[in-house]
Amino acid sequence: ETGVTQTPRHLVMGMTNKKSLKCEQHLGHNAMYWYKQSAKKPLELMFVYNFKEQTENNSVPSRFSPECPNSSHLFLHLHTLQPEDSALYLCASSLWTDQPQHFGDGTRLSIL
Amino acid sequence: ELKVEQNPLFLSMQEEKNYTIYCNYSTTSDRLYWYRQDPGKSLESLFVLLSNGAVKQEGRLMASLDTKARLSTLHITAAVHDLSATYFCAVDPPGSGSRLTFGEGTQLTVNP
């Protein structure tokens, strides 16, 4: 139990579907992150939220849309995804942005 | 662009043997993290190294940081099967705004 919970754990969707990934942390952290982990590639930072404000968008395509309604919850809205978007999507949180990050178990996303 | 390189990428070792994983990075940083990931699991924070010469030890693992050489090492002493996992280093350069850049990971297998 890492304190960071991601749902769903697995998601299969077609390219025309719309779905959302959810991340929740009860650690009292103020910063939350989305990462993409593809096979044979390093983890890639996608988005950073600090106190609900987006502070980093690492050139992520607009078909990925993050939402952070409060410091405990983070969503990643998906629409019109491509097969190359199939990956493990990891959420993380930290007390402040310069503190160690705690990761969730990830959502394994497969695009058909 | 910051590059973080780990070697080896794959390591198969016998129990009770010692070995070292290396993490080189291409730009100035005095903050480096080591994470462990088991298959299908989250990333677990192992060490946070915050200054030149920092050395931290936990059980059979010891991590060190040489900021002048831009090198961190993760030394494994008397390996046991439970240490089998993928180990990532990540660098957070000054002014990056918590933008962690990860290495590709070292997949460690400890054989009985």
Give B79-89 pLDDT, tens digit per residue. 999 999 999 99
* List of residues 6+ apart from A74 with CB closer than 8 A: A22, A23, A24, A32, A34, A49, A66, A67, A68, A91
Contact A89, A35 (CB under 8 A): yes
Q: Which residue of B has its CA nearest to A4?
A: B42
B42 and A94 within 8 Å at the Cβ level: the answer is no
Task: Give the model's confidence band at B112: pLDDT under 50 very low, under 70 low, under 90 confident, else very high.
Answer: confident
DSSP string, B2-63: --EEEE-SEEEEETT--EEEEEEESS--S-EEEEEE-TTS-EEEEEEE-STT-EEEETTEEE
The pLDDT score that the predictor gives to residue A26 is 92
Min CA distance, B17 vs chain A (Å)? 27
The pLDDT score that the predictor gives to residue A104 is 94
Min CA distance, B88 vs chain A (Å)? 9
| Confidence check: pLDDT of B46 > 90 | yes
Query: Across residues A54-78, what is the average pLDDT?
Result: 91
Q: Which amino acid would we find at residue A54? A: Q
Q: Which residue of B has its CA nearest to A55?
A: B97
Whether chain B has a CB inside 8 Å of the CB on A101: the answer is yes
Tokens coding B61: 């693992």
Q: What strand order describes the sheet that includes B55-58?
A: B4-7, B19-25, B71-76, B61-66, B55-58
Distance CA B33, CA A9 (A): 26
Query: Across residues A9-24, what is the average pLDDT?
Result: 94
The pLDDT score that the predictor gives to residue B92 is 84
A105 and B41 within 8 Å at the Cβ level: the answer is yes
Whether chain A has a CB inside 8 Å of the CB on B97: the answer is yes
Tokens coding A105: 């178990």
The pLDDT score that the predictor gives to residue B1 is 79
The pLDDT score that the predictor gives to residue A39 is 84
Distance CA A17, CA B9 (A): 36
* List of residues 6+ apart from B7 with CB closer than 8 A: B21, B22, B24, B106
The pLDDT score that the predictor gives to residue A49 is 92
Query: Across residues A52-69, what is the average pLDDT?
Result: 88
The pLDDT score that the predictor gives to residue A97 is 81
Whether chain A has a CB inside 8 Å of the CB on B33: the answer is yes
| Confidence check: pLDDT of A100 > 90 | no
A41 and B103 within 8 Å at the Cβ level: the answer is no
Q: Which residue of A has its CA nearest to B100?
A: A45
B88 and A43 within 8 Å at the Cβ level: the answer is yes
Q: CA distances (Å), A53 to each of A32, A38, A106, in order?
A: 10, 26, 22
